[in-house]
Amino acid sequence: MIYKIENKKMKVVLKNEIIELPIKLKEEINKNFKNIKKTGANIWNGEVLCVSECNIEDDKVEIICKKSDYAHYLYGERMGCPKKYECRNLSAGCLLETIDNYYIVGELDENTSYPTMLQVTGGGIDGQDIFDENIDVEKTIRREAMEELKINLNDKESILYNRLSYLYVSEDNEQPGVQLFSKAKSKMTVEEMKKYFEKYYRYLKKDNLELEFKKLHFLKKDNAVEELKKLSNPRRNYLIPLLQIDSKGT
| Residue ranges of domains in the chain, CATH in brackets | 2-248 (3.90.79.10)
Q: What is the reported pLDDT for 248?
A: 87
Sequential DSSP letters for 66-130: EEEEHHHHHHHHHT---GGG---EEEEEEEEE-TTSEEEEEEE-TTSSSTT-EE-EEEEPPGGGE
Residue pair 75/125 in contact (Cβ under 8 Å)? The answer is no
Q: What is the reported pLDDT for 172?
A: 82
Q: What is the reported pLDDT for 83?
A: 86
pLDDT averaged per 10 residues, the chain (length 250): 95 94 96 93 88 94 95 90 90 97 97 92 92 94 97 96 96 88 98 98 94 96 96 96 89
Q: What is the reported pLDDT for 239?
A: 97
Q: What is the reported pLDDT for 94?
A: 98
Q: What pTM value is reported for the model?
A: 0.88
Radius of gyration of the chain (CA): 18
To 10 degrees, the CA torsion angle through 171, 174, 179, 182?
-80
Residue pair 65/49 in contact (Cβ under 8 Å)? The answer is yes
Q: What is the reported pLDDT for 41?
A: 85
